[in-house]
Amino acid sequence: MLRNVSTTAVILFCTAALTAYGGQDWKSGIPWQKPAAVVPAQNPAEPPADAVVLFDGKDLNAWDKNSWLIENGELVCNPGKGSLSTKQKFASVQLHIEFAVPKDISGKGQARGNSGVFWGGYEVQVLDSYNEDTYFDGQCGAIYKQCPPLVNVCRKPGEWQSYDIIFNRPELKTENGVVRVIRPAYITVLQNGVLIINHHQIQGTTFFNRPPAYEAHADKMPLMLQDHGNKTRFRNIWVREIPDTDAHPEPVKAAYYE
C-alpha cells in the first residue's frame, strides 16, 4: 500500500542523516584517475574519436585477407572463401557493427543469412529470424548454443540492422594442462537499439556440436566475421577497447570532504 509522506517527515529524515555523518559529504577514498575526454560522433552509430575503424566502406586493410567483396561500400561475405579476422587483437571491447541478411534468401532455419560476430571463440549469431523459427539459442542475437535473446527485434531480410556489443574478456589460467577460470566472460548486446542480452555470463567457447567449455587462449584475440555460406553484408564496423570489469581499484578508506 502506498502512503503519503509528509514534507516534515522528509526534512526530519534528512536532518537525522546529516547529523549521523557530521554534516559532511562522504567520499569513497578510491584514487580515481581523471576520465579521458573523448569526442563523440554526431550520429551514435558513427565511431567516436577513440575508436578503431575496422570497415568504413573503402578497403579491407584492417582484416587478415582480402577474400571478401566490397560492393557499393558494403562488406559482403564471399561464400566458400573462409571467415574474416582482424589483424589487430583486442581485449575487452565495445563493438558496433551493422549487417543485412540477403533479401532473396529461401532456405529454412540456420540456412537463412547465417553468419556470426566472434571475439575469439565466442559468437553472437547473425541470422534471419524475422518471422522465421529455429532453435532459440541459435536465432539472431543469441549467444550461440548458450543464451537466446530476451526479445526478437529482427528486421525483414535485406534491411540493415545493428549490433552494439559490450564484451568483457575472461581471465583464464592454465595449471598442469587444466584451464582454470579466474573471471568468466560477460557480454551485453543491443540489436537495433534494443537490449537483447543483458550482461550474460558466457559458459565457454560457443561450439555447435558439444557443450560450452573454456579453452586456453590469449588475453587479446581477433574479432571475426563468419563465412557460413551466405552472402550476408556488413558495414560501419568500429571497436573500442575498454577496461575489464574489475579494472577499478578497491576502496582504500572511507573519508569525508571537509
Domain spans of the chain?
52-241
When comparing pLDDT for 171 and 3, which is higher?
171
When comparing pLDDT for 111 and 200, which is higher?
200
- Which residue, among 125, 117, 112, has the nearest Cα to 158 in the 3D structure? 112
Contacts of 247 (CB under 8 A, 6+ apart): none
Q: Does residue 10 have a pLDDT over 70?
A: no
User: What is each CA distance from 191 to 60, 162, 231, in whole angstroms?
Assistant: 25, 6, 20
C-alpha 83/C-alpha 217 separation (Å) is 19
Per-position DSSP letters for the chain, written without gaps between them = ------HHHHHHHHHHHHHHTTT--EE----PPPPPP-PPPSSTTS--TTPEEEESSS--TTBS---SEEETTEEE--TTS--EEEEEEESSEEEEEEEE--TT----GGGSS-EEEEETTEEEEE---SS----GGGSTT-BTTTB--SS--PPPTTS-EEEEEEEE--EEEEETTEEEEEE--EEEEEETTEEEEEEEE--S---SSS--------SSEEEEE--SSS--EEEEEEEEE---TT-SPPP---EE--
C-alpha 100/C-alpha 63 separation (Å) is 20
| Single-letter code of the amino acid located at 223 | L
Q: pTM for the whole thing? A: 0.85
Q: Does residue 254 have a pLDDT over 90?
A: no
Predicted local distance difference test score (pLDDT) of residue 251? 53
Q: Does residue 256 have a pLDDT over 90?
A: no
Predicted local distance difference test score (pLDDT) of residue 38? 84
Biggest CA-to-CA distance, the chain: 73
Q: Does residue 41 have a pLDDT over 90?
A: no
**CATH second-level architecture of 52-241?**
Sandwich (2.60)
- Note whether 30 and 251 are within 8 A (CB): yes
Query: Of 54-68, 92-106, 168-182, 237-251, which range is least confident?
Result: 237-251
Q: Mean pLDDT for the chain?
A: 89
Residue with cell 518471422: 131
- Which residue, among 206, 209, 200, has the nearest Cα to 226 in the 3D structure? 206
Q: Does residue 30 have a pLDDT over 50?
A: yes
pLDDT single digits (tens) 142-165: 999 999 999 999 999 999 999 999
Strand partners, 93: 167, 241
Q: Residue 39 — pLDDT band, cuts 50, 70, 90?
A: confident
C-alpha 10/C-alpha 16 separation (Å) is 10
Q: Does residue 226 have a pLDDT over 90?
A: yes
